[in-house]
Amino acid sequence: MTELRVATEFSRYLGGRYRDDGPWSGEEFREDFLRPRIERAIKSHGVLHVVFDGVAGMPTSFLEEAFGGFLRTPGIDVVAVRGALKLDADDPDLWPYLKLAEKFMDQQAKRR
Amino acid sequence: MVAITASPGEDNPVTAWFIDKLAPPLISGLLLTVVASVVIARSMERYRGRREHLTRAVDALRLQLAAVQSLGAEYWSAKLTVPKALAIEAELEFTLQDISALAKISAPDLWKTRDSEGPSLVAELLDKVTGPDFGKPTHVPDLNRVREIATRAALLSAKLTTDRHRFMSKGKLFG
């Protein structure tokens, strides 16, 4: 099991959807952090825990682009990604956003 | 307990009897009454404070739910210019975060674990307001969303009101 702590490894202040929207976007997170770490986790038959504790907020367009967008990537193995990716937060304020991110991934998985 | 007795020079038997037999329980009773009334008064004050805090949180939540319906309708019912869409998106994100925090305060019983009903209801509302096209410059009007936002907001409000009533009637405010 490996961990990706968003607040310390990426940013406490998550941005918008695309790189053009400014720093710390969902697209930047997906391409530069999430994709390489998930690929490594799948190769090693492990699980990547993305931990959101410490972030100042979770913009919904960031979440959609990072997680829903990841499952839109052509050629990706949706089942392997869903098995290798877990979203976590101990902070109760973040729980609805974790459920939302999972919902975004489920919606994209159903569309494929 | 220290016994109160008549002084050696005292010769009134009624006074001696009063001091010896009646005064100690009277003093003890008085002390107990004072302590109990202080404890009850503090407890009532705390109850009123918590009730007021919860009532204010629920009132603020209702206002934010009304705001999210109005903003959501504006966002999803018409084609907007990019600056206008950006402004509404930012306001919606802020309002939704506020709703999430207020919902947690208003209904602690619905927020015990990540899979409890509270986070799920808020997540449903978040999903309807900020669907997959939210924040994209190409987002298109979607009138179904306007109706779904109203439904989810009403569900959340009703559930929180019921839970708040149950929370107060169970006497958990004293906890």
Tokens read off for A100: 């939302």
Q: Tell me: the pLDDT tens digits for B99-131?
A: 999 999 988 889 999 999 999 999 999 999 997
CA nearest B89 in A: which residue? A61
Residue A34 structural domain: 2-111
Residue A49 — φ and ψ, nearest 5°?
-100, 115
Q: At what angle do helices B143-169 and B23-77 cross, to 10 degrees?
A: 180
Q: Tell me if chain A has a CB within 8 Å of the CB of B134.
A: yes
User: Residue B2's pLDDT is what?
Assistant: 53
Structure-model confidence comparison of residues B102 and B19, the more confident one: B102
Return the CATH number at B81.
1.20.120
Residue B43: inside a domain, yes or no? no
Nearest to A96 among B93, B119, B136 (CB): B119
Quick count: other Cβ atoms within 10 Å of Cβ B117?
15
Residue B38: inside a domain, yes or no? no
Calculated CA dihedral for residues A30, A24, B101, B96, nearest 10 degrees: -80
Residue B115: inside a domain, yes or no? yes
**Average pLDDT of span A42-65:** 95
Residue B64 structural domain: 55-174
Residue B44: inside a domain, yes or no? no
Helix, strand or coil for residue A38? helix
On the question of pLDDT at B60 being above 80, the answer is yes
Q: Tell me: the pLDDT tens digits for A70-104?
A: 999 988 899 999 999 999 999 999 999 999 999 99
- Tally of domains in chain A: 1
Nearest to B135 among A16, A57, A92 (CB): A16
Tokens read off for B59: 């009132």
pLDDT confidence tier of residue B172, bands split at 50, 70 and 90: low
**Average pLDDT of span A102-110:** 92
In terms of pTM, does the model score above 0.80? yes
User: Residue B54's pLDDT is what?
Assistant: 85
User: Residue B171's pLDDT is what?
Assistant: 61
User: Residue A61's pLDDT is what?
Assistant: 93
Which positions in chain B touch A98 (Cβ < 8 Å)?
Answer: 114, 119
Q: Tell me if chain A has a CB within 8 Å of the CB of B114.
A: yes
Question: Model ipTM?
Answer: 0.89
Residue B74: inside a domain, yes or no? yes
- Tally of domains in chain B: 1
